[in-house]
Structure 1
Amino acid sequence: MTTSPLTRTVVDIVGAPFHAIWSPEDGAIRAAGFATELDPDAESLTARLRSIDAGVAERGIADAAAAPGPVADPIADALLAYADGDVTAIDGLMVRQPETPFRGDVWRALREVPAGRAVTYTELAGLAGRPSAVRAAASGCANNLVALVVPCHRIVRSDGGLGGYLFGVDIKTRLLQHEGALRRELFSD
């Protein structure tokens, strides 16, 4: 649990506002996701985070731009670099989210899947050390609070389909295209 206020950074990535909630105290992202028609103002990110860390409601969440004086925002800098094409810029960002032992293994395995590559849920389970736990690996993706930085969008179905994504398959497709894992011409109209 953090003791200082949390900060929210919003950066446009692949044409959608991406919200990251992070603690300046340790520089760790606590929750992140896209504002889409499914989640237009990222309020559910805040609600999800508050349900995990009851202290957040008391400390509040400030926008980085609204804080008094100059604010160093390394999270926004890394996200902007990613949006501008440096798809490895987010690799070193710290994240913190409550985890079970296996979910933690899944999330660390996700961070090892490089930009430009997609793996199947079966491969992810193997990378996490439990090859037969495919459904549990998929559950780890579904319960990931730090989208993009813990890149659950890089996981696809074994039949070649993209599978689902909390922020919509369109965002998932654009992220995979941005990273070079999908050829753009396959998805043009």
Structure 2
Amino acid sequence: MSTGHVSTIDTPISPFTAIVAMDGAVLASGWTASADDLLPQVSPTLRPTTLTPRRDLGAVTRAVRAYHAGDLRAIDDIPVRQRGGEFTRQAWDALRTVPAGKPISYADYALLAGRPAAVRAAASACARNAATLFVPCHRVIRTGGVLGAFRWGPDVKRWLLNHES
């Protein structure tokens, strides 16, 4: 039986919930008040069987608050743990290198992840990203500037991109 911690923080967009492993690595996060919206996104091999609510998750809570208050780099060094295939892991790592305020296209994202022809696979990596915000998939947009899909909705994605510009 594995245990994780969960906390929900008020943000200017909506409540933000994070699920973290015992060592503080983010397993899942997003703009929701319910851990039930996040748990299915966590790989079964990482998914905690017990979640202990916490008011504060230390560095994770501080980073979420600081990011929403304008410190866009506050999320950069928070550890994240996700499981996926080799390309998906590379793609998630590549997302963490995309600077705030500089959104990229899915084609550029595939190139950044090391497989320029794998645009659909790059988009799939975004869709499978459980640790939104810390792995900033909101920074990937369609060619021509169209927002594209986002698990937490177009209004949240638009707010994040505006916040970072």
Q: Aligned pair 1:30/2:22, yes or no?
A: no
Determine if contact 2:138/2:150 at 8 Å carries over to the other structure. yes
- Gap regions ≥5 residues in structure 2: none
TM-score by length of 2: 0.92
Residue 4 (structure 1) shift: 5.4
- Give matches, 1:80-159, under 5 Å: 80-159=65-144
Residue 90 (structure 1) shift: 0.5
Identity across aligned pairs (percent)?
Answer: 41
Cα 1:72–1:153 change in 2 (3 A) is closer
1:10-44 superposed Cα distances (whole Å, 9 cap, x missing partner): 223332111110013x2200111111xxxx63412
- Gap regions ≥5 residues in structure 1: 66-70, 181-189
- Give matches, 1:4-83, under 5 Å: 5-24=3-22, 26-35=23-32, 41-49=34-42, 52-53=44-45, 56-57=48-49, 60-65=50-55, 73-83=58-68
Residue 116 (structure 1) shift: 1.0
Cα 1:4–1:42 change in 2 (3 A) is closer
**SS state at 1:95 partner:** coil
Determine if contact 1:21/1:29 at 8 Å carries over to the other structure. yes
TM-score by length of 1: 0.81
**SS state at 2:9 partner:** strand
Residue 56 (structure 1) shift: 1.8
What is the alpha-carbon distance in structure 1 between the residues aligned to residue 157 and residue 110 of structure 2? Answer: 20
Q: Paired residues, what number?
A: 165
CA RMSD after TM alignment: 1.8
* Structure 1 stretches of 4+ moved >6 Å: none
**SS state at 2:148 partner:** coil
**SS state at 1:8 partner:** strand
Cα 1:42–1:75 change in 2 (3 A) is same
Q: More helix per residue: 1 or 2? A: 1
What is the alpha-carbon distance in structure 1 between the residues aligned to residue 41 and residue 52 of structure 2? Answer: 16
Determine if contact 2:5/2:54 at 8 Å carries over to the other structure. yes
Cα 1:55–1:177 change in 2 (3 A) is closer
